[in-house]
Amino acid sequence: MSSTPHPRKGTTRRDADSLARGSQAHAQQRHHTSHDGEHRRQPTATSTGASHYIPTATYGSAHRSSRPLAGPRDTAAPGGPNLTRRNAIALAVVAALGGGGVWFATSRPVQVKVNGQGLKVTRGATLEQVRDAASLSPNAGNLVSVSGKVLEQGKGFALSARVNGADLDQDQIGSYRAKAGDDIQIGDGADRSEEYSATTREVQPKLLMQGGYGAVAYVSQWGRPGRVETRTGTTSGETADTTVDEVQDCVIMLHNVKPDNDQKLVALTFDDGPSEYTQRYLDILNQYGARATFFNLGSQVAAYPDLSKAVVAQGSQVASHSYTHPELPTLDEATLRDELKRTFDAIRDTDGVGTTVIRPPYGAFKESTWLKSGGLLSCSVIWNQDSEDWRRPGADKIAANALNGIAPGSIILMHDGGGNRDQDVEALPTIISSLQGQGYTLVTINELLASDSSIPDDIKSGNATLPEGCVWPTELGDA
């Protein structure tokens, strides 16, 4: 049969001859492409050294270049439907080749290290595929009951893994996909707990006293509640308690301040003010460029607000000495908290200073007092250098008592109110000049605490309060 198409209605003989010549040229071009294009492939080297052959890009273009041009209405031109089908096939081949490039990019081998040995694995391989490629046989964990008894051996997790130094949990193990350069460690699988039902209860922190004896007692750790689940196994029927969140006990540290690097720092303190003596003390402190701490009574702050403000203006520190000077351990919980809160409020409202530091009257503050305090205070300060001015032994004796055995971190007890303090006023210049002559600097309690790096920062601020999420204990624990 002739390959020359018959002329269609409306086509001249010249047109028919032209179409015949075009069709013959097309057949020759197709034959040439079949031998020179379709079978001629370009090798592409892979990381393994093997060659993958990809057809050349001339496969489709040869067909397009040999197709006779037709006008917009010449849809029935000879060879038209066949050429259209061949173009569609060519486009499909090109698309397939593009897809093959994506497949090659995502599936090519990558170099990893598995348990110390170099290995090539498929990029994106799971850990189980990596395990198999490395010919590893880790032992699977067991299925265990809520109390830890083995219910079925080998029914736990298939393997454990560490990737690039980080341990993976079971969710991460399941989602891991290999990347070039990964350092993978595969080990035995962990046990898997049986399914269970659970109820949860909260565990309250307890109060612990630590450190033995010290002039300063402060909260070194605030208490946080814990959670315990009581789990009942679906398979075993066993019941067991499991800690979900560890309880954090509240810790009170008893401590003598030790300034870092043996800094020669000493704290002068005055109780029971403000009073008619307060300004005289402040004038002497200014004369020597010294600072002190005034543990004021809330009732006295209310009576002498200007003098309380003057202490702060001079650069000294104001803290609590209770409101009415009771023996705090003898008070019930409500009365104790009222004494604490009223004084802190009075100092804040009068002086604009927030404080949670107290010097307990008579130095009496027991474990039970801490429990009843409800977390209203952060630090209780007594003394380790008693001037015994309350005995009124004379100015010289007061000075001698204050200076005898002085050391870095010493806290000296004196009084502002509560009686006649003329002897204190007379002794104070001798005390300050003698200390400065020995190289000591007189600082506030807050400054003294700040010199000791073992004390938490919030305590050094002098106004630490119960942090969010913490609770105050109601029971003593074992130290």
135 and 271 share one domain = no
With bands split at pLDDT 50, 70 and 90, how would you rate the model's confidence at 87? low
The enclosing domain of 171 has a CATH number of 3.10.20.30
Is 415 labeled as catalytic in the residue annotation?
Answer: yes
CA distance 403 to 435: 8
61 and 165 share one domain = no
Among the listed ranges 6-20, 189-203, 221-235, 352-366, which one has the minimum average pLDDT value?
Answer: 6-20
**One-character DSSP codes across 80-129:** HHHHHHHHHHHHHHHHHHHHHHHHHHHHSEEEEEETTEEEEEETT--HHH
145 and 90 share one domain = no
303 and 394 share one domain = yes
The enclosing domain of 292 has a CATH number of 3.20.20.370
Question: Is 90 exceeded by the pLDDT of residue 20?
Answer: no
State pTM to two decimals: 0.69
91 and 120 share one domain = no
Listed residue (417, 240, 462, 229) closest to 325, CA to CA: 417
187 and 332 share one domain = no
- Provide mean pLDDT across the span 421-427: 98
Mark which of 193, 210, 239 sits at the end of a domain: 193
CA distance 250 to 207: 5
For residue 246 the two structure tokens come to: 């560890």
With bands split at pLDDT 50, 70 and 90, how would you rate the model's confidence at 75? very low
For residue 470 the two structure tokens come to: 């913490």
Q: Is the separation of the CB atoms in 449 and 460 below 8 Å?
A: yes
Spell out the residues 6+ positions from residue 433 whose beta carbon is closer than 8 angstroms to its own.
Answer: 288
Q: Is the separation of the CB atoms in 412 and 266 below 8 Å?
A: yes
Task: Examine residue 379 and state whether it is found in any structural domain, yes or no.
Answer: yes
Q: Which residues pair with 194 in a beta bridge?
A: none
278 and 166 share one domain = no
121 and 184 share one domain = yes
Phi/psi for 375 (5° steps) reads 80, 20
Q: What integer pLDDT is reported at residue 8 of this predicted model?
A: 37
187 and 58 share one domain = no
Q: What integer pLDDT is reported at residue 50 of this predicted model?
A: 33
**One-character DSSP codes across 234-282:** TTT--EEEEEEE--B-EEEEEE----GGG--EEEEEEES--STTHHHHH
- Domain around 182: 110-193
58 and 131 share one domain = no
CA distance 442 to 264: 9
Is 271 labeled as catalytic in the residue annotation?
Answer: yes
H or E element that contains 411: strand 411-415
Point out the catalytic residue in the list 271, 351, 416, 452. 271
Task: Examine residue 166 and state whether it is found in any structural domain, yes or no.
Answer: yes
59 and 124 share one domain = no
Task: Examine residue 285 and state whether it is found in any structural domain, yes or no.
Answer: yes
Q: What integer pLDDT is reported at residue 108 of this predicted model?
A: 86
Q: Count how many domains the chain has.
A: 3
116 and 92 share one domain = no
The per-residue pLDDT for range 36-62, each reduced to its tens digit, is 333 333 333 333 333 332 222 222 333
CA distance 95 to 72: 28
Point out the catalytic residue in the list 26, 63, 321, 415. 415
The per-residue pLDDT for range 428-465, each reduced to its tens digit, is 999 999 999 999 999 999 999 999 999 999 999 999 99
Quote the mean pLDDT of the chain: 84
Task: Examine residue 466 and state whether it is found in any structural domain, yes or no.
Answer: no
CA atoms within 13 A on the CB side of 254: 16
Question: Is 80 exceeded by the pLDDT of residue 355?
Answer: yes
Task: Examine residue 11 and state whether it is found in any structural domain, yes or no.
Answer: no
The per-residue pLDDT for range 230-272, each reduced to its tens digit, is 999 999 999 999 999 999 999 999 999 999 999 999 999 999 9
Q: What integer pLDDT is reported at residue 167 of this predicted model?
A: 97
CA distance 444 to 446: 5
With bands split at pLDDT 50, 70 and 90, how would you rate the model's confidence at 12? very low
Dihedral of the alpha carbons of 148, 149, 154, 155, in degrees to the nearest 10:
-70
Among the listed ranges 86-100, 205-219, 373-387, which one has the minimum average pLDDT value?
Answer: 86-100
Burial class (CB in 10 A: 0-12, 13-18, 19+), 130: buried
Task: Examine residue 448 and state whether it is found in any structural domain, yes or no.
Answer: yes
Q: What integer pLDDT is reported at residue 187 of this predicted model?
A: 97
